[in-house]
Amino acid sequence: MPQQVSSPTSPLLTPRPLLIAGPCSAESERQVLTTAENLRRNTRVQIFRAGVWKPRTKPGGFEGIGAPALQWLVKARQLTGMPVATEVAVPRHVEATADCGIDLLWIGARTSADPFAMQELAETIGRLCPDTPVVVKNPVVADIELWIGAIERLRDAGVKNIGAIHRGFRSLGHEIYRNHPRWSVPLELHRRMPQLPLISDPSHIGGRRDLIAPLAQKAMDMGFDGLIIETHPEPDVALSDKDQQITPHELSQLLDSLQFRSMRHDTDEPLREFRLQIDQLDAELLEILSRRMAVSQEIGCYKRRHGIPVVQTERYENVLLSRIASGEGMGLSGEFIGRLFALIHEESIQNQL
């Protein structure tokens, strides 16, 4: 078990629920100030966020205004009294935000996936602004050790207030979501680092406006500490991620509709969280079994077309021995694996007949 990250002492990370919102990108001073003032007047949002530097998957997209936009965030804070947050990806970003006194930093999924980049960032933050709260998005791949490693680098560099953002994971298959939530991963992070504030990012998980509200409610039902949501006064003309941004009015309605459960006061909380992990892992297991059976049906069609018998005894024996060996290598009972794959094989035969 990793050395624990201390509970944050910054008041920015202690409200429950913690609500962070703002545009994906700071596009103009007017857009930033208008959005911030709207959020202050009409929502319960506590921290205003806006991307200044935008890491794009491919060149040619809007990559952000850059350092000049930090002054717009400073003006938004002066106008509304709300703390402001932005993403940092390289040391010079940290230097610029430290000079402006940005209140909260987040580290994106591409950066948290790179240990070299994380080490440089952690050292710079620890040197220039160790008291500034930093929240770390999960890496693009579902690798909890990589996520924990990014958090530990910040801790070891002396950063005192750390949180985590769950924004989903890249998936190669066709998904309803932009990024597969794989809820079992953030739940395992919370089990291993229970003092770490855990924030959900339904905008990036869903990738569509209509998915934000149900994902936000699910995160609250699962005991997340807060939400970070993208909002734009005119989402359809946003320069980045327009499909996943909602208007401040829609955000206000969304927040008013959410049911916030009491956070982590139930004496059975550890048991509840273990059960949630089981539920999510079972859902993933069923999805994999469904995909396996679909492949089995394709094999059955191929065998029928080519006159090949359904049952291939030698192949089954090799598969069974291989899976038992693999399972035992993972600490599972060989007898259990044998029974499990016998059932799977039986169902596969039925699908191929």
Q: Does 277 lie in the same domain as 215?
A: no
Q: Flag whether 2 is in a domain.
A: no
Q: Which two tokens stand for residue 245?
A: 């941004």
Q: Does 337 lie in the same domain as 281?
A: yes
Mean pLDDT confidence for 138-148: 97
Q: Which one of 123-127, 298-302, 349-353 scores highest in mean pLDDT? A: 123-127
Higher per-residue confidence, 174 vs 200: 200
Structurally, the chain folds into a number of domains equal to 2
Q: Are 133 and 10 in contact (CB under 8 A)?
A: yes
In 3D, which of 82, 73, 93, 77 has the Cα closest to residue 31?
A: 73
pLDDT confidence bin for 1, thresholds 50/70/90 = very low
What's the chain's average pLDDT? 93
Q: Does 277 lie in the same domain as 177?
A: no
Q: Are 189 and 197 in contact (CB under 8 A)?
A: no
Q: Cα angle vertex 141, ends 136, 143, to 5°?
A: 75
The domain in which residue 334 lies consists of: 269-352
CATH of the domain at 287: 1.20.59.10
Q: Are 241 and 63 in contact (CB under 8 A)?
A: no
Q: Flag whether 253 is in a domain.
A: yes
Q: Does 323 lie in the same domain as 246?
A: no
Q: Does 150 lie in the same domain as 32?
A: yes
Q: Which two tokens stand for residue 268?
A: 């059975």
pLDDT tens, residue by residue, 246-278: 999 999 999 999 998 765 555 577 888 888 899
pLDDT confidence bin for 174, thresholds 50/70/90 = low
Q: How many residues does the chain have?
A: 353
Q: Are 214 and 188 in contact (CB under 8 A)?
A: no
Mean pLDDT confidence for 46-53: 98
Mean pLDDT confidence for 3-25: 88
Q: Flag whether 4 is in a domain.
A: no
Q: Does 218 lie in the same domain as 72?
A: yes
Q: Does 286 lie in the same domain as 227?
A: no
pTM to 2 decimal places: 0.78
CATH of the domain at 145: 3.20.20.70
Q: Does 332 lie in the same domain as 184?
A: no
The CA distances from residue 15 to 11, 47, 191, 302, in Å, are 7, 11, 20, 58
